[in-house]
């Protein structure tokens, strides 16, 4: 079975369970994804399929990419992603992979690019405490001392300092699927996922399943 499919973030909603507790969830437009290319698991290769998601006018594509879709006899797609498949699975070019790939109660991982926040200080970027807030203090939101005295006499790499915050590839793990609507290509998961509305996401079966401890 294919491990996942591309999706678009729609937005967040608030739900209520049977006990009346509020639950935050995220709605995604998952698929349909079209198989554009199939790679076999011959020696030196591995089994995978190339998925296309999101319609786009052919005039918006480069000539090599337009030729790629024309060769496969598939309508042009805005996004492409190669996804591994299990040995023995058979997929055909032009086949559609829909959101019914997932089921209610299943755990999934959602990968996307987080919102960019520009250049940020250590308090905003790394949640540092900062200095005294009272008047007269000259140390409020600075990073503080980062030196290493005489030895090694330099600033070590990897220090948490001001810099570009956000705009990074992030994966939200073990999100529970609350609702699947194949007729509308909608997928609702518990919690939040990275990125802004209309952002591109990749939803796959969870790779780190949570194990419930026996009481």
**Residue of 26, 39, 30, 11 lying closest to 79 (CA atoms):** 30
- Nearest in space to 114 (alpha carbons), one of 178, 38, 186, 193: 193
Is residue 172 a part of any domain in this protein? no
pLDDT in tens, 21-45: 999 999 999 989 999 988 876 665 6
The single-letter DSSP state of residue 157 is T
Q: Indicate if the alpha-carbon torsion angle 84, 90, 95, 98 is positive or negative.
A: negative
Give me the mean pLDDT over the 41-61 stretch.
Answer: 81
Greatest CA separation found in the chain?
Answer: 71
Q: What is the pLDDT of residues 181-208, one digit of tens each?
A: 999 999 999 999 999 999 999 999 998 8
Asked whether residue 195 is domain-assigned, the answer is no
- How much is the pTM? 0.83
- Write down the pLDDT at residue 89: 72
In a domain, 57, yes or no: no
Q: Answer yes or no: is pLDDT of 84 > 70.
A: yes
Cα–Cα distance measured from residue 140 to residue 135, given in angstroms and rounded to the nearest whole number: 10
Q: Looking at the domain assignment, is residue 74 inside a domain?
A: no
Residue 139 falls inside a structural domain: yes
Q: Percent helix, strand and coil across the chain, each rounded to 5?
A: 10, 40, 50
Q: Please enumerate in sequence order all residues whose Cβ is within 8 A of that of 84, keeping only pairs 6 or more positions apart, or say none.
A: 3, 46, 47, 48
Query: Where in the sequence is the domain holding 134, given as residue range(s)?
Result: 118-165
Tell me the average pLDDT across 67-91. Answer: 86
pLDDT of the residue at 207: 86
Residue 161 within any structural domain of the chain: yes
Number of domains in the chain: 1
For residue 175, is it within any domain? no
């Amino acid at each position: 079975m294919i491990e996942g499919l591309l999706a678009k973030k729609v937005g967040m909603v608030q739900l209520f369970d049977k006990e009346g507790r509020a639950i935050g969830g995220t709605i995604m437009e998952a698929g349909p994804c079209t198989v554009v290319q199939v790679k076999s698991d011959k020696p030196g290769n591995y089994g995978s399929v190339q998925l296309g998601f999101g319609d786009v006018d052919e005039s918006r594509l480069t000539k090599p990419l337009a030729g790629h879709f024309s060769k496969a006899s598939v309508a042009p797609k805005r996004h492409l992603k190669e996804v591994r498949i299990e040995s023995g699975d058979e997929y055909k070019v032009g086949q559609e992979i829909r959101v019914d790939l997932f089921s209610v109660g299943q755990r999934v991982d959602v990968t996307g690019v987080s919102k960019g926040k520009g250049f940020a200080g250590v308090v905003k970027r790394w949640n540092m405490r900062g200095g005294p807030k009272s008047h007269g203090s000259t140390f409020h939101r600075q990073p503080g001392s980062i030196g290493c005295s005489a030895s090694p006499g330099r600033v070590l790499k990897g220090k948490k300092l001001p810099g570009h915050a956000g705009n990074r590839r992030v994966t939200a793990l073990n999100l529970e699927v609350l609702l699947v609507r194949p007729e509308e290509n909608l997928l609702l998961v518990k919690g939040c996922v990275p990125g802004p509305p209309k952002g591109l996401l990749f939803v796959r079966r969870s790779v780190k399943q949570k194990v419930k401890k026996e009481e």
